[in-house]
Amino acid sequence: MKKVSVIGAGFAGLTVSLRLAQKGFEVDLYESSSRVGGLLGTDITDYGIAERAANALIRTEKADALFKELGLTPDLPLHSSKKRFLFRETPRAWPLNFLETLGFIARLLPKALRGKKNFKPHKGETLQAWGQRNIGPQATRFILGPAMQGIYGNDISGLSASLILGPLFSKKKKDRYKGLLTSPHGMQDLVDHLEVKLKEMGVKIHLNASANPKSLSGPVVIATSAEAASRLLTDSHASVAALLKQIRMSSLMSVTLFFNKAQESFKGFGCLIPRGYGLKSLGVLMNSYIFQGRNKTYNETWILGGVEEDALMELPDQEILKLLAEERHRILGHKESLVDYRINRWKKALPYYNLQLEETLKTIGQMAPTPDLYLHGNYLGGIGLSKILERSEMIAEEIANQYG
Ligand SMILES: Cc1cc2nc3c(=O)[nH]c(=O)nc-3n(C[C@H](O)[C@H](O)[C@H](O)COP(=O)(O)OP(=O)(O)OC[C@H]3O[C@@H](n4cnc5c(N)ncnc54)[C@H](O)[C@@H]3O)c2cc1C
């Protein structure tokens, strides 16, 4: 049986190992920390669960299939989560006023009637410039900005429109989007099920272990962050390593707050917060209104961070809680007392989807193929778990075609 080595056991490494094992490969999975899952994980508290990073996957057919084969009954969002808020002085379902809405429609409609291709991003265009060109300044600031920053953790003035919106214009058949899904006990449960399945299939998981790609024979999948991949490849693939080193990493913090009383003024998925208000928070997830079983004690997860916010990661817990109490009061108008909290600081954990990354990925794509080396992870065009799963399947297919 042909052997494949996978380095990094986050969601990317776990799922590519699963797909490779299913294709009959002997898989060795190397993880430098003492557990698998990478960014994914769930803290269990006396008041309910707190997700460390992702709280759900986009529900595609591939994600549904993964849950089914792992024997996990997915938790689907509650009806209350259909309502979403955008902050403009206060949380609003629609943040534009009457005249702005008319302006937005007047700008959008003629373009939309001329076809989808009119919205295609230009090369080297930021999301902010794309928004100004296509939907106007107000919709860019109050809708596009907060929505994209909620996913990519950064202000849209630096984000690449091609990287983020480009896939919507590709001719490739797209997996249909059907909302979200998670595991009833949180994302750690998904990680645990993946680990059990891999072991059942004979995948050898090496914890507290890193492998030098140079010393491995056969195909190697590097499924770490871009930064770690650059370090791993310095000896064996210096030119790829140099390109990966250019990818800027961005810090993000998730803070789950458990309250003595639920806020009932805004019942929904959460609220996204545009820049320009002097607020550090990027958005809040109202967990108890999103998934069932998350209301043991009413709780919310606040997300903060970005490439310019490394200093925020160094603040002690009490200062973060004070900052959030002030911002929560300003945003939601509430001041309930806290009964517990969990803070996860992810320093330089996510790739910054900026114009530099657009250039770097283009250059990597134009390089001669590197035999036996496959790059995987959230910096390669999809930051979310469903995109990572899609890439896992694609890489396993490529390796099977080449070596199977
Ligand atoms: C706060 C937050 C909220 C998020 N919310 C969502 C969400 O709701 N939905 C969604 O789809 N996505 C979300 N994401 C994004 C998503 O969680 C990540 O993109 C995804 O988990 C990344 O998985 P990965 O396997 O690519 O990387 P990682 O999880 O970073 O895994 C990489 C692994 O490689 C290991 N490693 C590093 N170096 C080495 C080495 N030399 N040798 C061996 N192993 C090594 C690391 O220890 C780690 O385990 C969120 C992210 C954050 C931070």
Q: What's the Cα-to-Cα distance from 357 to each of 42, 55, 249, rounded to whole Å? A: 30, 25, 10
All CATH 3.90.660.20 domain ranges in the chain, comma separated: 249-351
Pocket test for ligand 1, best of 187, 194, 224, 281 (most atoms within 8 A of CB): 224
* Residue 143 pLDDT > 80: yes
Is the Cβ–Cβ distance between 136 and 103 less than 8 Å? Answer: yes
Distance CA 283, CA 301 (A): 8
Q: Is 79 exposed, middle or buried (0-12, 13-18, 19+ CB in 10 A)?
A: exposed
Give the residue whose CA is nearest to atom 5 of ligand 1.
54
* Residue 314 pLDDT > 80: yes
In DSSP terms, 7 is beta-bridged to 30, 222
pLDDT tens for each residue of 146-192: 999 999 999 999 999 999 999 988 877 777 778 999 999 999 999 99
Q: Is the CB of 270 under 6 A from ligand 1?
A: no
All CATH 1.10.3110.10 domain ranges in the chain, comma separated: 95-169
pLDDT at 404: 78
Q: Is the CB of 10 under 6 A from ligand 1?
A: yes
Q: Which amino acid is at 188?
A: Q
CATH 3.40.47.10 fits 95-169, yes or no: no
**What is the mean predicted confidence (pLDDT) over 358-372?**
91
Q: Is the CB of 54 under 6 A from ligand 1?
A: yes
Distance CA 297, CA 299 (A): 6
Q: Is the CB of 8 under 6 A from ligand 1?
A: yes
What is the 8-class DSSP label of residue 182? B
pLDDT tens for each residue of 96-130: 999 999 999 999 999 889 988 889 999 999 999 99
pLDDT class of 369 with cuts at 50, 70, 90:
confident
Q: CATH for 3-75+184-248+352-403, among 3.50.50.60, 3.20.20.70, 3.40.50.720, 3.40.640.10?
A: 3.50.50.60
Structure tokens at 377: 């992870």
pLDDT at 69: 97
What does pLDDT average to over the chain?
95
Distance CA 239, CA 51 (A): 37
Report CA(253)–ligand 1 centroid distance (Å): 13
All CATH 3.50.50.60 domain ranges in the chain, comma separated: 3-75+184-248+352-403
Q: Is the CB of 384 under 6 A from ligand 1?
A: yes
Among the atoms of ligand 1, which is closest to the Cα of residue 346?
53
Q: Give the architecture (CATH level 2) of 249-351.
A: Alpha-Beta Complex (3.90)
